Amino acid sequence: MTIDTPSVADLAAANALRRHRRRVRFIRLTVVFLGCVLLLDAVFGERGFFQTIRSRQDLLRVEREISELARENAELRGEVHRLQEDPATLELVARQDLGLARPGEVLVVLADVK
């Protein structure tokens, strides 16, 4: 029975294979690590998934506020137009808000008693 001793060429080839495998493993781990970093940035980063959702919610909220303000603005424009053009509206406001009366009318003010 003989014991095979590896030759120098076999040892060199084995060492080269080990170095190649370590290099491939290092590259794979580096790629996986970088992929994880990019994924985390895509989800949690400044322009990530969650920030995009928050921005869209903010956009919808602001759009609702704008439409509500536009509706309120239209109502106020209508009121301004009525106050400038409609004498009956102007008289109603003068009577209600200012407590004015026409000549010859008697103004009766009822007070709340608590």
* Alpha carbon separation from 51 to 12, 25, 62, 99 (Å, rounded): 54, 35, 16, 55
pLDDT of 13 above 70: yes
pLDDT of 56 above 90: yes
pLDDT of 9 above 60: yes
pLDDT of 43 above 70: yes
pLDDT of 21 above 70: yes
More confident residue, 13 or 58: 58
More confident residue, 114 or 73: 73
Average pLDDT over every residue of 23-49: 92
Amino acid type, 52: T
Mean pLDDT of the chain: 89
Is the Cβ–Cβ distance between 100 and 94 less than 8 Å? yes
pLDDT of 61 above 80: yes
Q: What are the tokens at 8? A: 């120098």
